[in-house]
Structure 1
């Protein structure tokens, strides 16, 4: 089961984001207010991990002087964009983070956990976030909600299309069978587990030493702020 989930993630998450990175980054440039508020409330001198940082839009978020954000992601192409903006980033897997225990004052996990293809792997990913978080440190997690106004889902485990526009396709050769009049060069299918109301809360409550501070809905996501209590 675990190997099957890992294969889904390889084919429909990691490889997809490597291929659509330039286009995806073009659509991700403005920090969401609630996440900016979370960063702004951190004490000066805080050391923050942005796990799944993508192009680094939160690393460069100018909301709190004296807060240092270190980013990591599985997608090398997105990290190259982050590096081009002079952000300090690292290629790594959320399930096996190369950081010491208790070393970050805060952790961001924005639109990451919903890409893990089994409940056990989602739990393990959050356990890794908790491991690297210092006692009394806070984490914020955003995942896609099943209860969305713009999208309707028939099940919780879904493939969501991404239509890659030709202008953002950096591959040297394009599929010659595609309609040359179309603005799209390829459609990719991204895997998501969309969370029902209360599901993320139940998952975090099952992990020792995490205490939920806030539980809310924002931008079609279920969101939680939790604190490490020991």
Structure 2
């Protein structure tokens, strides 16, 4: 088992000229409702993440033997080592998920998607699977794509997938908690987002496997004492809504007694659902509309779109680095 040495000059660098400090600074909503949540639910989340998406598997299988593949936002590492003829290095913002990867013998490190710690042109290919929708501003999403292009060689391919607004099951959009206010660019303040309605179901059929497999489909109860949900308003037309909280139910028997879950409950970042016997965490998502992912690449002069497609309620794109 090896862990990447982040103190060495090779192959990792930090280029302060790549982006402004504001883009690299993590907004509070991501810290609380992405980073902290995944650290808290990591073992349970990992137990539900094992099936490989066919399109991702096809992409990885198509790469030449000996390719070095960078997985940015690798989660529990389910794609690391998928193609045994290639080499994989993964990174994720969650130390808890990275520990799971390390325990499985993968080459991984903790890193931010908007500031990848690899030198320019390091990898032969890169993937970002279900990551960009957790970034809360357009600039940060664009920066993450620029980073993926930067770290691959000329001619290298980049596969990106994100959750879509255009869900195959449209009823799902009424089962998540839409956020009433779109966050201002580079939002980092202490203000509380406000929700417009309570989610009525936990169903996450927009991804191949979900926590429903272990928890069933009963209705979700969300406490009005949770500060981040704010005051509940009347249901509104969510046709153009793209900002959501999507709940994750961590069963009581999987929650650490006196650990992260206890702290989250005490601070209002999680609630209890005694009916389901679980601690409820909310994960922040910006779901993508048709053409939005491609539009983020318009200003990247050294990359071109070679394929884009819709798969299992996800928008997907493949880029090639041209210079």
Q: TM-score, normalised by structure 1?
A: 0.92
> What is the alpha-carbon distance in structure 1 between the residues aligned to residue 51 and residue 313 of structure 2?
16
Task: Quote the residue 2:284 is aligned against.
Answer: 191
Is 1:116 matched up with 2:135?
yes
Q: CA deviation at 1:84?
A: 1.1
Note if contact 1:205-1:212 (Cα within 8 Å) is conserved in structure 2: no
Change (3 A) 1:180 1:59: same
Q: Deviations over 1:148-169 (max 9, x none)?
A: 0332162111111111112321
Q: CA deviation at 1:206?
A: 2.5
Q: Deviations over 1:124-146 (max 9, x none)?
A: 11111111011000000000100
Change (3 A) 1:34 1:129: same
Is 1:216 matched up with 2:237?
no
Structure 2 matches for 1:20-39, cutoff 5 A? Answer: 20-39=41-60
RMSD: 2.1
Q: CA deviation at 1:77?
A: 0.5
Q: CA deviation at 1:6?
A: 1.2
> SS at the partner of 2:36?
helix
Give the number of the structure whose alpha-carbon radius of gyration is greater: 2
1:49 maps to which of 58, 63, 70: 70
Q: Deviations over 1:66-91 (max 9, x none)?
A: 20010000001111111111111100
2:85 maps to which of 63, 66, 70: 66
Structure 2 matches for 1:95-106, cutoff 5 A? Answer: 95-106=114-125
Change (3 A) 1:96 1:3: closer
Q: TM-score, normalised by structure 2?
A: 0.66
Task: Quote the residue 2:5 is aligned against.
Answer: none
Consecutive unaligned residues in structure 2, runs of 5 or more: 1-21, 175-237
Change (3 A) 1:8 1:180: closer
> What is the alpha-carbon distance in structure 1 between the residues aligned to residue 273 and residue 65 of structure 2?
53
> SS at the partner of 1:204?
coil
1:166 maps to which of 232, 252, 255: 252
Q: Deviations over 1:97-130 (max 9, x none)?
A: 1111001000010011111100011111111111
Note if contact 2:161-2:315 (Cα within 8 Å) is conserved in structure 1: yes
Consecutive unaligned residues in structure 1, runs of 5 or more: none
> What is the alpha-carbon distance in structure 1 between the residues aligned to residue 250 and residue 32 of structure 2?
16
Aligned residues: 227
> What is the alpha-carbon distance in structure 1 between the residues aligned to residue 95 and residue 24 of structure 2?
22
> What is the alpha-carbon distance in structure 2 between the residues aligned to residue 158 and residue 85 of structure 1?
32
Change (3 A) 1:181 1:211: closer
Note if contact 2:157-2:318 (Cα within 8 Å) is conserved in structure 1: yes
> SS at the partner of 1:200?
helix
